[in-house]
Structure formats: C-alpha cells, structure tokens
Amino acid sequence: MSDTPDSLLPLQPTTFHILLSLADEDRHGYAIILDVARRTNGEIKLSAGTLYRSIQRMLELGLIIETKTRPAPELDDVRRRYYRITPLGTAVAKAEAGRLNSLLKMARSCGVVPRTT
C-alpha cells in the first residue's frame, strides 16, 4: 500500500469506529457491531450492509486483514471471519484521533466547547 496515514484522512466515522473496535483485539463482524454500539452507548448501530461495505474498503486499503486465528471450536461459528487491525490501520486511527484532538483544541480556544479544568 503506497497510502500514507495522512493521505487517508479524514476517515469516515464508521471506518474510525471499526478501527477503534479492532484496536484492542481481533473481532468478527457481529462482535464489531456490538462493540461499536457499546462504546457509543447505543448511538451507533451498524447494519450488516454498512459494516461489510466498510470492511471491504478497509481490506483493500490495507487498514485491516482477515486473520486465520480462531477461537476454540465450541465458541466459534464457521460462518464468522475475524479481522485484525494492521500497523497502517493503527497509524491511521492515531492520525485521525490526533486530527480530531486538534479540532477539539481549536473549538475550545474559540469557546465553542467549554475548557476542562
């Protein structure tokens, strides 16, 4: 992949949430949906169609890969595929977080967002 992290910014919210979900562990599709919903207090409920369109694009960009590591058979479903964040994916997620952080700082300096004490 010749893309640099900055060249992929800004990320679509769905992509960012999926990267965050995969940041700490490998997950299958439904687990990603549940994790995103949990992190956002149910505000974002990804549908299967949106999730897999994003996954397809992220695979093409090299942000994630499909991993062959699977859980024990009694905990597994053969239809499931597990995804892992790549170093590029991690770098892109960090870059996006940094970008959002700068935006937040800017908003604070303008008084749009209250300053933290």
Name the residues that contact another protein, by CB under 8 A.
Answer: 28-30, 33, 47-53, 55-56, 77, 79-81
Instruction: Assess contact for 46 and 36: CB atoms under 8 A.
Output: yes
| Shortest distance, position 16 Cβ to another protein, whole Å | 19
> 46 or 95: whose CB is closer to another protein?
46
Cα–Cα distance, 66 to 26 (Å, whole number)? 9
> 56 or 101: whose CB is closer to another protein?
56
Cα–Cα distance, 85 to 25 (Å, whole number)? 8
| Shortest distance, position 64 Cβ to another protein, whole Å | 14
> 21 or 95: whose CB is closer to another protein?
21
> 56 or 109: whose CB is closer to another protein?
56
Cα–Cα distance, 81 to 71 (Å, whole number)? 11
| Shortest distance, position 17 Cβ to another protein, whole Å | 16
| Shortest distance, position 117 Cβ to another protein, whole Å | 41
* DSSP state for residue 5 in the 8-state scheme: G
Exposed, middle or buried, 109 (CB in 10 Å: 0-12/13-18/19+)?
exposed
